Structure 1
Amino acid sequence: MNILLIGSGGRESAFAYKISQSPRNTQLFIAPGNAGTETYGKNINIKVTDFEAIGRFVIENDIKLVVVGPEEPLVKGIHDFFLNNEQLHKIPVIGPQAQGAQLEGSKDFSKQFMLRHRIPTAHSRSFTKDSLQEGLAYLADKQLPIVLKADGLAAGKGVLICATLEEAKKELKAMLADAKFGAASSKVVIEDFLQGIELSVFVLTDGKDYKILPSAKDYKRIGEGDTGLNTGGMGSVSPVPFADDAFLKKVEDRIVIPTIEGLKTDGIPYKGFIFIGLMNDDGNPYVIEYNVRMGDPETESVLPRIESDFVELLLGVAEENLAQKTLKVSEKTAATVMLVSGGYPGTYENGKTITGLENIKESILFHAGTTLSHDEVKTAGGRVLAVTALRDNLLDALQQATADAGRIFFDGKNFRRDIGFDLID
């Protein structure tokens, strides 16, 4: 069958890698893709939110399955666009409709959902510009540090952890009164700070049943030792050593099952991935956030460990028979190291020539922010390449990925050399 994958980052590179391995795949198209996805299919120059152009392409190229990578087209209703179009409504789309996508599109919506279905999460309240004074008074009574979250999508920048009351009040005013994150912060969720260690659990669901994919942990800070500014992710590992069977059983019983059942109870159709960002607080899981797609760079660690036919799993979602599909996961460990542009996550330059890609023999290379220009691979984003090693143990995987990250070159290249080493005893 012909398959269309929507997106252009490292996550989509990993999707393309797995989809291309399936005997069910005849031709894979990626819109818009990057310099690396061309290895696995054909790039199509269509924006992820140009639903009309995507629809025309699907009809003209006999696409039988559409897989949506990033959150923006889901929140903006690409699945609904297909369902409401007479020529497209029978084409399966992997990714929730706009209502379900509000689990990520609105922090307030997701908090209310968790409260309604008794899913463990930090206590919170939401405020708007009209209730700013109430929000400031609320902050004065809260324990520090405190978390401020822009309600809407803010390109991964809308979450602030404030260490002092003065800082919290200043930031709340900036978000609500001064629109620091634009429309995304027209409502702000003030949330108690959770102590513990973070991890991510990924669920694939057809709306009735589910499969829990491998767990992963990512590293957000730009600097080694988890210092400096937050980024979109500097690396990841899967599985997470401290997420043993007992802990993951708690996650399933207390979070995954109530989430799936809650969607059913609320009448919210959902076909796709659910990313559950968790805090392990003394052996008990609490939800930090939902995302309605796979994470990046976690996907680059998770998907290489899936040994099942990935397209078969996706078809299980499309045909609502996921329970009949087999999920086989490798016992090996995956470690991913991100190469980023100099200056990232601040100001950085694009268009730097990348060399040394041919040096990578023992790891899998997933392109994130790259483009092809006159047969040369160039940088085209803050996060440029993901280097993933799959090995029998965490130390070997980390050493291989880190070594291979050093074998690639471009002006200003930066990467962390300590990804995952905090998890080694």
Structure 2
Amino acid sequence: MNILLLGSGGRESAFASKLAQSPKLTQLYVAPGNAGTPAYGKNVNLRVTDFEGIADFVLKNDINMLIVGPEEPLVKGIHDFFLNHPDLKDIPVIGPQKEGAQLEGSKDFSKQFMIRHKIPTAAFRSFTKSELEEGLKYLETQKLPIVLKADGLAAGKGVLICETLEDARKELKAMLADAKFGEASSTVVIEEFLTGIELSVFVLTDGKSYKILPEAKDYKRIGEGDTGLNTGGMGSISPVPFADATFMKKVEDRIIIPTIEGLKKDNIPYKGFIFIGLMASESPQGKEPHVIEYNVRMGDPETESVIPRIESDLIDLFEGVANQTLSEKKLKISGKTAATVMIVAGGYPGEYLKGKPITGIENLKHSTAFHAGTELDNGVVKSNGGRVIAITSLQDNLFDAVQCATADAGRIYFDARYFRTDIGTDLMNL
């Protein structure tokens, strides 16, 4: 089977490494890929939103399946583009159609979906630019801190947690009146602030049945001890110790099943991943799950911890999605723990350094390097993004996985590189 994988980050590197292990694979292409993906397939110089270019490549290279890594092409309708193209309509796309992708593409859409299908989530109201004054009055009735979310995609920057009413008013005006996040904040969701521990649950569905993939916890803050600015993710751990069978049964019964059934009731076809961002809140009955957000693809850096724990053939699972026979497929998950430490560029998440030669990747002892923001320049691997390389170690327990991943991250060097040394340590005493 010839497969085209769209994307260029650590998530796509993890996918590529797993796809390359399948006996079903003939040739893997990654568009655009990074300096690490040629180890698993061929890089193709295509933008993920160049639908015409992708179509041309697919037809010329006898592609049998398209796997979509990032959210933007899904929200912009690449699956629909294939279905509506006479020469592409029979080529399976792993990723939802445009309507289903609104679960991530519109915060208001996803919140309305959750309310409609009685899925536990934070209380909220949505406001448009013309409703700014109403929104400001609403803020005065809410508890602090309060969460403001741009309705549309804002490159991971559209969620603000405001500690004071003055800050919340200022930011709401900036988002609605001044288009702080462009078109993405033409509608703003004002949401109750939930407390607890966050985790990510991943589901693969063919629209009828589903498989629950390994859960993970990611670390968003740049600084040790979860301090400093938010990032795209500084590391991740899978499994999550507190997500025991009792908690995951609550997640399945209250969130996963109503989500899959809700999509059916709303006549929304869905073939691909559902990433459920959860808050586990304390209650007298134990930890209770609430949905913070849906994403319609795998997370990054969570994928780099989740994929190494999947022992089944990934292409076989994807064929189950394409043919709606996922219920017949076996999902085997390793009992080991995966720890991922993200090495980032100097200055990240602000303005960061690029083009720095990277050394030491061949010195890893107990880990895999999943390239993210890297490029090949005349045979030299150089940094080309904020998050540069994810180092993942799969070990028998959490302590060993964290120790090995952190030690191996230290074996990689480029100018001004940085990584957190405390990824996963908060979970060791749970």
TM-score under structure 2 length normalisation? 0.99
Unaligned residue ranges in structure 1 (runs of 5+): none
Q: Distance in 2 between matches of 1:111 and 1:40?
A: 39
- Could you tell me which residue of structure 1 aligns to residue 205 of structure 2? 205
Match of 1:380 in 2: 384
**1:403-414 counterparts in 2 under 5 A?**
403-414=407-418
Aligned AA (2:318): L
What letter is aligned with 1:134? E
SS at 2:137 equivalent:
helix
Q: How does 1:138-217 map to 2 (within 5 A)?
A: 138-217=138-217
1:358 aligned partner: 362
**Runs of 5+ in structure 2 lacking a partner?**
none
User: Residue 209 of structure 1 aligns to which amino acid in structure 2?
Assistant: S
For the aligned residue pairs, the C-alpha RMSD in angstroms reads 0.4
- In 2, Cα distance between the equivalents of 1:179 and 1:261? 36
2:331 equivalent to 1:330: no
Q: Distance in 2 between matches of 1:50 and 1:189?
A: 30
Deviations 1:259-308 (A, max 9, x none): 00000000000000000000001111000000000000000000000000
Please give the secondary structure, in 2, of the residue aligned with 1:395. helix
Partner of 1:13: 13
Q: Deviations over 1:394-419 (max 9, x none)?
A: 00000000000000000010000000
For 1:39 and 1:230, locate their aligned partners in 2 and report how far apart those are by CA, in whole Å: 31
What do the CA deviations read for 1:35-91 (whole angstroms, capped 9, x no partner)? 001100000000000000000111111100100000000000000000000000000
Residues 97-132 of structure 1: per-residue CA shift (max 9 Å, x gap): 000000000000000000000000000000011000
What residue in structure 1 maps to residue 401 of structure 2? 397
Q: Secondary structure at the match of 2:366?
A: coil
Match of 1:115 in 2: 115
Aligned-partner Cα distance in 2 for 1:85–1:309:
29
Q: Which residue in the other structure is 1:70 paired with?
A: 70
Equivalent-residue separation in structure 1 for 2:19 and 2:78 (angstroms)? 21
Look up the equivalent residue of 1:284 and give its one-letter code. Answer: E
CA distance in 1, matches of 2:57, 2:364: 35
Q: How far apart in 1 are the matches of 2:168 and 2:399?
A: 39
Q: CA deviation at 1:5?
A: 0.3
Aligned to 2:274: 274
Where do residues 207-356 of structure 1 align in structure 2 (5 Å cutoff)?
207-282=207-282, 283-356=287-360
Name the counterpart of 1:419. 423
How far apart in 2 are the matches of 1:90 and 1:103?
Answer: 25
Whole-angstrom CA distance in 2 between matches of 1:349 and 1:179: 28
C-alpha separation in 1, matches of 2:56 and 2:209: 32
Distance in 1, Cα, partners of 2:322 & 2:373: 30
2:215 and 2:361 mapped to 1: Cα distance?
28
One-letter amino acid of the counterpart of residue 81, structure 1? F
Residues 309-345 of structure 1 show CA distances to partners (whole Å, capped at 9, x for unaligned) of: 0110011000100000000000000000000000000
Amino acid at match of 2:260: I
For 1:237-270, what per-residue CA distance to the aligned partner results, in whole angstroms no more than 9, with x for missing partners? 0000000000000000000000000000000000
Partner in structure 2 of residue 50 of structure 1: 50
What is the Cα deviation at residue 361 of structure 1? 2.9
Question: C-alpha distance in 1, partners of 2:258/2:66?
Answer: 28
Shift of 1:349: 1.7
Question: Secondary structure in 2 aligned to 1:122?
Answer: coil
Distance 1:181 1:108 in 2: 16
Identity of matched residues, %: 74
Match of 1:125 in 2: 125
Count of residues in correspondence between the two structures: 425
Give, in whole Å, the separation in 1 of the partners of 2:166 and 2:424. Answer: 34
Instruction: Report the Cα distance in structure 2 between the residues aligned to 1:11 and 1:413, rounded to whole angstroms.
Output: 20
Query: Where does 1:21-36 land on structure 2 (aligned, <5 Å)?
Result: 21-36=21-36
Amino acid at match of 2:159: V
Residues in 2 aligned to 1:23 and 1:184: alpha-carbon distance in whole angstroms: 42
Amino acid corresponding to residue 337 of structure 2 in structure 1:
T
Q: Matched residues in 2 for 1:63 and 1:374: separation? A: 29
For 1:275, give the aligned amino acid: F
CA offset digits 1:208-243 (Å, max 9, x no partner) = 000000000000000000000000000000000000
Letter matched to residue 267 of structure 1: N
Listed one character per residue, the Cα deviations across residues 126-183 of structure 1 (whole Å, up to 9, x for unaligned) are: 0011000000000000000000000000000000000000000000000000000000
Q: What displacement does 1:360 show?
A: 1.0
Equivalent-residue separation in structure 1 for 2:14 and 2:319 (angstroms): 18
Distance 1:6 1:320 in 2: 22
Distance 1:37 1:182 in 2: 33
Q: Report the Cα distance in structure 2 between the residues aligned to 1:362 and 1:139, rounded to whole angstroms.
A: 50
